[in-house]
Amino acid sequence: MDTAKLVSDYQEMIGRYTVLGTVDSKSANQAFDVAKKLEKDLLSLPEKEWVNALNPLTQANDNAVRIFSSFCLYENATDQQIKKIALQTLRECAAQSGLTAITAKYWLMSKNLL
């Protein structure tokens, strides 16, 4: 499958998940499941390819996209510099307000990184 299409679909599903999360939990959960499947598909590609595809998402305007892509990079990348940048992005997102910030804070606390 085309990497750009995978990333685009991944970003779209994360957006759907966050938009639907407060109004339709069933649809939000379905979007989350699709996003996780797309993430798995991305991770099946060579590491350099998925790192290059996800890295720009850590600077997206949508904090949920920044958080999800940073989670993925931090948990799966072998390059320590990539992990460091992803962790910094998660900390920046956690310092903000809103539901996505709470998600980042919770994840960082669960990993003893906050």
Report the half-sphere exposure of 31 (CA within 13 A, side-chain side).
Answer: 18
Q: How many domains does the chain have?
A: 1
Give the pTM.
0.87
Q: What is the pLDDT of residue 1?
A: 67
Report the half-sphere exposure of 28 (CA within 13 A, side-chain side).
Answer: 9
28 three-class SS: helix
- Please state, in angstroms and rounded to a whole number, the distance separating the CA atoms of residues 104 and 26: 22
Q: What is the pLDDT of residue 104?
A: 86
**CA quadruple 80, 81, 86, 92: dihedral positive or negative?**
positive
28-82 pLDDT, tens digit per residue, is 899 999 999 999 999 999 999 999 999 999 999 988 999 999 999 999 999 999 9
103: containing domain:
3-110
Q: What is the pLDDT of residue 35?
A: 94
Is the predicted pLDDT of residue 5 greater than 90, yes or no?
yes
Q: What is the pLDDT of residue 60?
A: 92
